[in-house]
Structure 1
Amino acid sequence: MPMEETCSNPSCFFCTMKESDPLLRRAGIIKCFKEMPIRDDQEHVLVLSGLWNIAMTQPNDPEFPSLGIFQCMASLISRGINDRDWLLRDQNIYIPYYAAHVIGSYTMNKVEFAEEAVNSGVVIPLMELLRGKISWVEQRVAVRALGHLASYEATFHAVAEREEEVVELVMKIAATCLDVVYIELVGVKDEKKRLKYHCDLLSRGVGGLEMENRKAEEWASQNQCWSIYLLSSFASKGKSLNLICNQKFLEDLCDMWGGLMNHSSPGGFGLIRILCYNKTGRKSIAESKHVIEALCNLSRSSDDWQYMGVDCLLLLLKDSDTRYKVMEISVLFLVDLVEVQNLGGRTKVGESITKVLLLYYKTKKSMPIINKSVERALNLLWDLKVQRRKRERPISEEEVGERRVLVNLLKQQGNEKFWAGEIEEAISKYTEGLSLCPLKLRKDRLVLYSNRAQCYLLLKDAEAAISDSTRALCLSNPVNSHNKSLWRRSQAYDMKGLAKESLMDCIMFVNGCITSKKAKHVKVPYYAARMIGKQMNATCLFASAEVKYCKKGKEQVHESNGTADRDRDDNDGEGDGDRGAIMMKQKEISISGLSPILEEPSTRKNSWAATQKISRRKKGMMVGSRDFKISHNNIQALAHTCNHKL
Structure 2
Amino acid sequence: MESQIPENSDSKRIQKLLPSIPTCTNCSCFFCIMPETDPLIRKAKIAFCLKQMPLRDDKEHVLALSSLWKIAMTKPNDPEFPYLGIFKCMAKLIKKGLRNKGWLLNHQNIYIPYYAAHIIGSYTMNKPKFAEKAVKSNVVAPLIELVRGKISWIEQRVSLRALGHLARHEATFEAVAKHKEEIIEAAIHIASTCLYEVYDKFVGLEESQRLEYHRNLLTRGLGGLELENRKAEEWASQLQCWSLYIIDCFACKERSLELICKKNFLKDLCTMWGGLANPQSPSGIGLLRTLCYTKIGRESIADSEEVVENLCIVSRSSDDRQNLAIDSLLQLLKDPITRYKVIEISAPVLADLVELKGLKLGQEIVRILLQDYHKAKYFEMKLRSEKAEEALREIWDLKVERVKRESLMSEKEIRDGEIMARVLKQEGNEQFRSGKVEEAVKKYSEAIDVCGVKDIKQRIVIYSNRAQCCLVLGDAEAAIRDTTRALSLSSHVACPHSKSLWRRSQAYDMKGLAKESLMDCLAFIRSRFRSKKKKRFIIPYYAARMLQKQMNATWLFASAKSERSINKHVDELDEFKGEYQVDVKTMRKETNRKNEGRRRKSERRIRTNVSRQRL
Q: Report TM bin, short chain.
A: 0.7 to 0.9
Residue 608 of structure 1: aligned partner: none
Distance apart, 1:8 and its partner CA: 9.3
Residues in 2 aligned to 1:522 and 1:15: alpha-carbon distance in whole angstroms: 56
Residue 421 of structure 2: aligned partner: 407
Distance apart, 1:10 and its partner CA: 8.5
Q: Deviations over 1:437-470 (max 9, x none)?
A: 1111111111111111111111111111100100
Residue 131 of structure 2: aligned partner: 114
Cα gap change, 1:484/1:308 in structure 2, threshold over 3 Å: closer, same or farther?
same
Residues 398-547 of structure 1: matches in 2 within 5 Å?
A: 398-477=412-491, 481-517=496-532, 520-547=535-562
Residue 366 of structure 2: aligned partner: 354
Q: Deviations over 1:15-50 (max 9, x none)?
A: 111011111111111111111111222221111111
Residues in 1 aligned to 2:531 and 2:385: alpha-carbon distance in whole angstroms: 43
Residue 234 of structure 2: aligned partner: 218
Q: Deviations over 1:371-402 (max 9, x none)?
A: 11111111111110000110111334454444
Cα gap change, 1:31/1:417 in structure 2, threshold over 3 Å: closer, same or farther?
same
Distance apart, 1:227 and its partner CA: 0.4
Residue 625 of structure 1: aligned partner: none
Which residue of the other structure, out of 284, 287, 307, is the alignment partner of 2:323?
307
- Check if 1:55 corresponds to 2:72: yes
- Check if 1:35 corresponds to 2:55: no
Residues in 1 aligned to 2:132 and 2:163: alpha-carbon distance in whole angstroms: 12
Distance apart, 1:519 and its partner CA: 6.5
Give SS of 2:58's match: coil
Cα gap change, 1:25/1:396 in structure 2, threshold over 3 Å: closer, same or farther?
farther
Residues 100-499 of structure 1: matches in 2 within 5 Å?
A: 100-188=117-205, 190-260=206-276, 262-342=278-358, 347-364=359-376, 365=379, 367=381, 369-477=383-491, 481-499=496-514
Cα gap change, 1:249/1:440 in structure 2, threshold over 3 Å: closer, same or farther?
same
Tell which deviates more after alignment, 88-97 or 430-439: 430-439
Residue 572 of structure 1: aligned partner: none
Residues in 2 aligned to 1:71 and 1:255: alpha-carbon distance in whole angstroms: 39
How much identity, in percent, do the aligned residues show? 60
Distance apart, 1:243 and its partner CA: 1.4
Cα gap change, 1:543/1:329 in structure 2, threshold over 3 Å: closer, same or farther?
same
Distance apart, 1:403 and its partner CA: 3.1
Letter in 1 for 2:516: E
Q: How much is the aligned-residue C-alpha RMSD, in angstroms? A: 2.0
Distance apart, 1:505 and its partner CA: 0.3
Give SS of 2:336's match: coil
Distance apart, 1:361 and its partner CA: 2.0
Give SS of 1:322's match: helix
On the 8 A contact 1:266/1:305 being kept in 2, the answer is no
Distance apart, 1:104 and its partner CA: 0.5
On the 8 A contact 2:244/2:282 being kept in 1, the answer is no
On the 8 A contact 2:187/2:243 being kept in 1, the answer is yes
On the 8 A contact 1:513/1:519 being kept in 2, the answer is no
On the 8 A contact 2:431/2:439 being kept in 1, the answer is yes
* Residue segments in structure 1 that go unaligned for 5+ positions in a row: 1-6, 558-646
Letter in 1 for 2:320: D
Residues in 2 aligned to 1:398 and 1:456: alpha-carbon distance in whole angstroms: 33
Distance apart, 1:178 and its partner CA: 0.6
* Residue segments in structure 2 that go unaligned for 5+ positions in a row: 1-23, 573-615
Q: Deviations over 1:469-489 (max 9, x none)?
A: 000000113687110000000
Q: Deviations over 1:510-549 (max 9, x none)?
A: 1112221376221111111111111111111001111111
Distance apart, 1:430 and its partner CA: 1.5
- TM-score normalised per structure 1: 0.82
Greater helix share, structure number: 2
Give SS of 1:520's match: coil
Distance apart, 1:552 and its partner CA: 4.1
Residue 30 of structure 2: aligned partner: 13
Tell which deviates more after alignment, 414-423 or 404-413: 404-413
Residues in 1 aligned to 2:50 and 2:568: alpha-carbon distance in whole angstroms: 45
Give SS of 2:449's match: helix
On the 8 A contact 2:27/2:58 being kept in 1, the answer is no
Residues in 2 aligned to 1:261 and 1:30: alpha-carbon distance in whole angstroms: 39
Tell which deviates more after alignment, 465-474 or 194-203: 194-203
Distance apart, 1:205 and its partner CA: 3.3
Distance apart, 1:369 and its partner CA: 4.4
Larger radius of gyration: 2
Higher relative contact order (CA 8 A, sep 6+): 1
On the 8 A contact 2:257/2:297 being kept in 1, the answer is yes
Residues in 1 aligned to 2:557 and 2:551: alpha-carbon distance in whole angstroms: 11
Cα gap change, 1:89/1:416 in structure 2, threshold over 3 Å: closer, same or farther?
same
Letter in 1 for 2:464: S
Cα gap change, 1:11/1:542 in structure 2, threshold over 3 Å: closer, same or farther?
closer
On the 8 A contact 2:28/2:64 being kept in 1, the answer is no
Distance apart, 1:407 and its partner CA: 2.1
